[in-house]
Every structure is written in structure tokens, then in C-alpha cells.
Amino acid sequence: MKAFKVFLLVVLTILLVGGLVGLQVAALGLEALSPALYLRVLRSSHAIEKAPDILMGFFGEEIGQLPGEERARLEAAVREALEPAWVEGEIAPALTDLAMVLRGRREELSAVLHVDVMGQRIVDAYAKTGHPYIVSQLRQGMREMFPRPLALGELGLGDDKTFAEVAKNVRFGLKVVSVALAAVLLVVLLCFLLAGGFVGGARWVGAAVLSAGILGAAGAVAVAVLGPGLVAGVELADAPEVVAHLVSDVLLGLVSRLALTVGTNAGLLVLVGVVLLVCAGVAAATRARRRTAAATGPGAGTPTS
């Protein structure tokens, strides 16, 4: 009977390790769906501040035809119009909207990018110092290029089969996470019951949690080491150089943040595992001292009537 209990505990420990590793992967997936993650990466990679460089990179030929003085004035106007606070105010709602759809909390994309306002801001900024003729040409060009706000749904994401499949998988994954969490808690309870109390249960569960944490830490190291190499393999042949460099910086920042998330979660599991093992050891030692004291005490060995 004891051997069978040990066998069951080994099986449950393996299942617990697998469940905890799965939950770490799920936590990574949830982090990848967090708009705050991408905003932090965009800030840390200075992508928001480089928005004027991106725009001017796409219109390099047109800007290059302007006289040097007017080109400098237009570049200054673009930087004034695309100030970081305004750019972030446009990006944040779009990221939130996208995450809401992916998580199944909203059926359709509803956010808009106010590219028409962007164009008008550029014209207004340039009109302060620019040549009147170029101002009029710029105003006309912006109206033709950005006649109205750009809805995210117009980009085809909402109708794209790949996007719909990703959203479906994400929603299914969130349900699996809930089931996995309940299963992990059930396995923990069974371990304590089969082990005959706190000391045995804490040892088995602590070992499983510690093992899952070590595996998670190894995964974090793998992401941190292999991630930059994968990012280096991403090529944007048709994009301006400034955009290609910026995409690389953003992807590297994203890999770094995800590796940090995995490492943090793994560290917490290692800490919990160690605490459980230490508590089990302390409880076992305390129990042993009490038994020794009871066996050697004044009343030990005295027959009772």
C-alpha cells in the first residue's frame, strides 16, 4: 500500500510540474496580449519619439526635392506635430482595442487612428515658417492622402482569416488556463492527502514547484539567448532603413520583456518551492524534538494504573 501511495505521489508530482510549466507559458501568453507591454517596449526603444523619422523615411524622395532650408522647416514641423504625447495617445487605444478583440471581450475592432488630424497638425506647424506655396501644396496633399480617420477594421484585420484564427485560439487558451489552474490546485490537495499531512505534502509539492521554477528559469535563459538571433533574422527589404532599425529595436525590447516575465514567474516558483521545503524540514524537526522529549521525559516508561 505504501509503495502504491509513493507511485501515485510521483505521478501527481510529474503532473504538477507539467501543470505549473504550462501555467508559466500561459502567463507569458497573457503578457503578450497586454497593451501595457507594447507601450513599455515602444517607450524603452524610443519608437514613439522616432515617429517623425518613420514618417519622413516613407516620404524621403518628396522631402528631398525641397530646398535645404524648406526641408529643414518641414522636418521641424513634422517633429512638432508628432510630439510623443500625441503619438502615444493614438497608439494606446489601438493596442487596447486589438487586445480586447483577441481576448474575446469585443467582437469587432472599433479604434481609429486620426491620420487626418496628423496631416492637419503637420500643415499647421509648417505654416508658421514655411513658404506659402509649399504650404498650400502640402495642405492639398495631406487632404488627398489622409481625407479621414483610419479605422483599424479598414486594415482588414477583422476580416482576415489568420487574425480570426489567432483570436479563436487565444479565447480557447484562456479557457484552458482556467481549467489548468483548477487542476493544479486539485493535484496539490491530493498530494497533501496522500502524503499524510503537512510535512509530507509540503515536501512533494515543494519539490514539484521548485522543479517547475528551475525549468521556467531555463526557459527564460533560452529566450534571452536565442531571441536576439531570431530578431536578427527578420528582414524588411522594402522598408526605409530607419524603420528597419526601429523594428529590430522594438523586437529586441519585446524579447527582453518577455524573458524578464518568464524569469520573474520562475523566480517566484523557486521561492515558493524553497519555502515549502524549508517549512517541511522545520516542521519535521519540531515533531522529532517533541517525540524525543516525550520519550525521555519524567513520565516516560512509567506504567500507568
User: What is the distance between the alpha carbons of residues 55 and 273, in angstroms, rounded to a whole number?
Assistant: 51
Q: How confident is the model at residue 123 (pLDDT cuts 50, 70, 90)?
A: very high
pLDDT digits (tens, 9 = 90+) for 251-289: 888 888 889 999 999 999 999 999 999 999 998 888 888
Is 87 a domain residue? no
Is 61 a domain residue? no
Q: H or E segment at 113?
A: strand 112-113
User: What is the distance between the alpha carbons of residues 207 and 225, in angstroms, rounded to a whole number?
Assistant: 27
Total number of domains constituting the chain: 1
Greater confidence, 33 or 20?
Answer: 20
Q: How confident is the model at residue 157 (pLDDT cuts 50, 70, 90)?
A: low
User: What is the distance between the alpha carbons of residues 170 and 177, in angstroms, rounded to a whole number?
Assistant: 10
Is 263 a domain residue? yes
25's grid cell: 507559458
Q: How confident is the model at residue 305 (pLDDT cuts 50, 70, 90)?
A: very low
pTM score of the predicted model: 0.75
105's grid cell: 471581450
Report, in angstroms and rounded to the nearest whole number, the Rg of the chain calculated over CA atoms: 30
User: What is the distance between the alpha carbons of residues 217 and 24, in angstroms, rounded to a whole number?
Assistant: 10
User: What is the distance between the alpha carbons of residues 272 and 237, in angstroms, rounded to a whole number?
Assistant: 48
Of 69-83, 86-100, 121-135, 236-250, the range with the lowest mean pLDDT is: 236-250
Amino acid making up residue 35: P
Is 18 a domain residue? yes
Is 195 a domain residue? yes
Domain assignment of residue 22, given as a range: 1-33+161-284
Is 68 a domain residue? no
Is 208 a domain residue? yes
**Local structure of 110: helix, strand or coil:** coil
**DSSP assignment of 254-287:** HHHHHHHHHHHHHHHHHHHHHHHHHHHHHHHHHH
Is 204 a domain residue? yes
CB 129 within 8 A of CB 69: no
